[in-house]
Structure 1
Amino acid sequence: MASTQTGRRLAGIDAARGLALLGMMATHIYPLWTQGADPQPNFTGLVLSGRSSALFAVLAGVGLALLSGGSKPHHGRALLADRGGIAVRAALIAAVGLMLGTLEVNIAVILVHYAVLFLCALPFLQLRLPVLAAWAAGWLVLSPVAAYLVRGGLGAALEPSSLGHNPNVLDLFTPVTFLADIFVTGFYPVLQWLGYILVGLVIGRLEIRRTVVQLWLLAGGLAAAALGKAGSAFVMGQLGGFAGLASTEAAERPDFGLIYQVNLGWVDMDDSWWWLGVAGPHSGTTFDLLHTSGTAAAVLAVCLLLTSRRPRLLLPLSGAGAMTLSLYAAHVWVMSIVPDGAAAPSDHVLYWGQVIVALSVGMAFSVLSLRGPLELVTSSASRLTRNSLRGNRQLR
């Protein structure tokens, strides 16, 4: 995805996207807590879980903003062309996601939800920055409440109310459950995750090439991340929220203390309003969305600051980040063919082997000015659509 309105990529955005890819790969491979008599959350669970995928989504919003004009959003025929190109790109990404959904793999594949988020972003592309910021703030606050209310109704009306697996082509024949999973009950519910896209759109509408903007983005990201955790700590501690969860079904699990810290996407959070006060990874609450949006903004700001004068400083990361669709798809496929049992490689071998390949391939493609295979297909189809809708004029 082009990273500026002039077609020149910002290395910092690609580097941040590369970090998101490596973080997501780690959460797919490593356990989220230590094994043994006294298990404790580890680095992957405490630092990477939830934040890596959120970074990936926020950067998608940044990319959409830059693709549609950056700080000077397109209007009229140009905006129509942008929307058409993005819709085609989303359709192709969804097709890749549906194919990956046929693989037997213990990974929540994000691509179909990711593609739907692209489509949901289309009405917001023409908004002025203050209006867009208001939408983003409102979405972070209200969408978790709406999701909580809707989940209960879906649970009563649909059986099942979620797919229980990655979306694939066959799920299109059960459209109601498919849509419920994509928008509300799945691992990456679009209803809440659109907040990440809107935050990314806001960031992408700023003059992010300017150092002062990057510094403000860093400060704002850190403040938002801290506020999300502090607000949740107040609600769950001082107001008694954690005690209020003691009577829920999830709290009866022996591993609840661990799950609460590393991945709340594994439990149903429909039986107590107190769930809206947590900030754990993949909880999808206002506090979680605010915290992870803040960490995403901070990571992006650091990458932009480091590469503003030396674009190739983070070349291994930015090279991989420029072809995340291809590398992510390859990673999911590799994980689907890894043997189990005694023949399985160690987690370290599996992770670092893939990291070295991803960084090496990305760097080689970058040096040779090549696009990843899936990026080439999606960008070419998107560009042809945009050119056609804009009257065959060359788009940059």
Structure 2
Amino acid sequence: MASPPPAAARLVGVDLARGTALLAMMTTHILPTMEPDLAGRMEPTWIGLAFSGRAAALFAVVAGISLSLGRVPAAANRLGLALRALVIAVVGLFLGGLDVNIAIILVQYAVLFWCSIPVFRLSQRSLGLLAGAWIVLAPVASFIVRPWFIDRPEPLVLGHNPTWTDLRDPGKLLTDLFVTGNYPVVQWMAYIFVGLWIGRLPLRNWSVQLGLLLGGAIAAALGKAAEWALMVPLGGHAALMATPQASQWPLDAMLRADLIGVQQTGTVWWLATAAPHSGSTLDLLHTSGTSAMALGFFLLVARMRPLSRTGVLLPLAGAGSMTLTLYTAHVWAVSWSQGGGTPGLEREGLLAVHIVAALAIGLLFRANGWRGPLEWVAHGAYRLGSLKQRTTTATPRQGRVR
């Protein structure tokens, strides 16, 4: 079999990155990111140290990249993109009603798509400048306004995944989605901007792929190095451990593994950490870097002729091409298992079942050229928007009567 053309290799590399993000998120959902040591003190697990924060960030960055790919970029059909995001939001609201110990990202994911629509006309240079400015300024803005929403008689915090009933209180829902929730859109828009900027690069070129790998590694290392300088020699860690949050949470472990659930108020030192899910400038820099690094790596892997000939990449690429369906099935399955649906199955075994199932289903659908069921619905919504957009464009406007 001849090696795939550059365009195919490019798409396979993106699907590989997206599939890896999906499997890594599954891992953090099922296996603990923190566990007590022999002394009873919480410590990060290798899962928390390796995947927490990075998996979800890669998922979001690849979403931005996908908007710029294809013969006609998805961003060109704004109405279609808005309708596709609506499908994602609907699925997310249904999943929010499940009794599951997972911070579900789909509603925020849809809002990120909606908020990205106004910037599609920007040039690549403008997108790069916007991404850089957003990484620096958005965490500061969020830190300034967050206390106003939290320090009030009725804090504007959901404390759970968004559900249909939350639509009754749109102010609280929007505040949680944008500022106080698990995936605050104010900071997470940085990942979409980074992805849109990367998607405008000539991703077929091996030099660009290598540049993403090396440049991403440098950015990720800079983020962590800056955190160490601020946290250790300059006393940032000690200042955070003196906050009220440290008495409520195992903060020392959470700063290394997962800061979801901790409201970062009371001291400006929260902005100096690069903790997973902190949404700080250094966290956004580090996870944008690891996302670019992962994308560059998988784009290079997709170029390797022996791997493309043997089809060894198809299961992971297939899973990456239907993440909405597989993510939804995974969340439902975890809810079912947490309700006692898998007696006698250890967490590691449960994770193995989820990963093998995702890869097998991905291979089946990829080999047959099928879309995932939810991808089919989302694509139908996108095509509906495209049809309406073409109809509107083709209809001549009548002149104003004078």
TM over 0.5: yes
Aligned to 1:122: 117
2:36 paired with 1:42: no
Aligned to 2:267: 272
Indicate if the aligned counterparts of 1:221 and 1:296 stay in contact, CA closer than 8 A.
Answer: yes
Counterpart Cα distance in 1 of 2:196 and 2:327: 23
Alignment of 1:167-178 (within 5 A): 167-178=162-173
Q: CA deviation at 1:160?
A: 2.8
Indicate if the aligned counterparts of 2:240 and 2:269 stay in contact, CA closer than 8 A.
Answer: yes
Counterpart Cα distance in 2 of 1:158 and 1:228: 36
Q: CA deviation at 1:9?
A: 7.1
Residues 229-264 of structure 1 deviation map (CA, whole Å, 9 limit, x = unaligned): 011111112222112223201222472221111011
Q: What runs of 5+ residues in structure 1 fail to find an aligned partner?
A: 1-5
Distance 1:134 1:346, change over 3 A: same
Does 228-237 or 357-366 show the bigger shift?
A: 228-237
Aligned to 2:250: 255
Distance 1:110 1:339, change over 3 A: closer
Which residue among 46, 59, 70 is the counterpart of 1:56?
Answer: 59
Counterpart Cα distance in 2 of 1:266 and 1:326: 27
Indicate if the aligned counterparts of 2:10 and 2:204 stay in contact, CA closer than 8 A.
Answer: no
Q: CA deviation at 1:228?
A: 0.5
Q: Note the aligned Cα RMSD (angstroms).
A: 2.2
Aligned to 1:3: none
Q: CA deviation at 1:225?
A: 0.2
Counterpart Cα distance in 2 of 1:143 and 1:254: 25
Which letter maps to 2:360? S
Q: Partner of 1:40: helix, strand, or coil?
A: strand
Indicate if the aligned counterparts of 1:94 and 1:112 stay in contact, CA closer than 8 A.
Answer: yes
Alignment of 1:279-318 (within 5 A): 279-310=274-305, 311=308, 312-318=311-317
Counterpart Cα distance in 2 of 1:153 and 1:305: 46
Alignment of 1:1-396 (within 5 A): 10-38=11-39, 39-66=42-69, 69=72, 79=76, 82-157=77-152, 159-253=154-248, 255-310=250-305, 311=308, 312-339=311-338, 343=343, 345-391=345-391
Counterpart Cα distance in 2 of 1:158 and 1:304: 50
Which letter maps to 2:242? S
Q: Partner of 1:279: helix, strand, or coil?
A: coil
Counterpart Cα distance in 1 of 2:8 and 2:78: 17
Indicate if the aligned counterparts of 1:306 and 1:313 stay in contact, CA closer than 8 A.
Answer: no
Indicate if the aligned counterparts of 2:9 and 2:303 stay in contact, CA closer than 8 A.
Answer: no
Identity of aligned residues (%): 47
Indicate if the aligned counterparts of 2:9 and 2:302 stay in contact, CA closer than 8 A.
Answer: no
Which letter maps to 2:313? L
Indicate if the aligned counterparts of 2:223 and 2:282 stay in contact, CA closer than 8 A.
Answer: yes
Counterpart Cα distance in 1 of 2:9 and 2:37: 50
Q: Partner of 2:69: helix, strand, or coil?
A: helix
Counterpart Cα distance in 1 of 2:240 and 2:337: 38
Q: Partner of 1:65: helix, strand, or coil?
A: coil
Aligned to 2:3: none
Q: How many residues align?
A: 381
Does 32-41 or 231-240 show the bigger shift?
A: 32-41
Q: CA deviation at 1:103?
A: 0.6
Indicate if the aligned counterparts of 1:84 and 1:385 stay in contact, CA closer than 8 A.
Answer: yes
Q: Report which of the two structures shows the higher radius of gyration computed on alpha carbons.
A: 2
Q: Partner of 1:238: helix, strand, or coil?
A: coil
Q: Partner of 1:269: helix, strand, or coil?
A: coil
Distance 1:390 1:68, change over 3 A: farther
Counterpart Cα distance in 2 of 1:48 and 1:333: 21
Indicate if the aligned counterparts of 2:12 and 2:317 stay in contact, CA closer than 8 A.
Answer: yes
Q: Partner of 1:214: helix, strand, or coil?
A: helix
Indicate if the aligned counterparts of 2:79 and 2:382 stay in contact, CA closer than 8 A.
Answer: yes
Counterpart Cα distance in 1 of 2:71 and 2:129: 19
Superposition TM-score, scaled by structure 2 size = 0.90
Distance 1:386 1:9, change over 3 A: farther
Indicate if the aligned counterparts of 2:53 and 2:258 stay in contact, CA closer than 8 A.
Answer: yes
Aligned to 2:399: none
Residues 159-197 of structure 1 deviation map (CA, whole Å, 9 limit, x = unaligned): 131111110111000111000010000000000000000
Indicate if the aligned counterparts of 1:225 and 1:293 stay in contact, CA closer than 8 A.
Answer: yes
Q: Partner of 1:10: helix, strand, or coil?
A: helix
Residues 37-95 of structure 1 deviation map (CA, whole Å, 9 limit, x = unaligned): 1453222110011100000000000011225856xx98xxxx3xx11111010001000
Distance 1:303 1:256, change over 3 A: same
Counterpart Cα distance in 2 of 1:294 and 1:69: 27
Q: CA deviation at 1:343?
A: 2.9
Which letter maps to 1:383? R
Q: Partner of 1:89: helix, strand, or coil?
A: helix
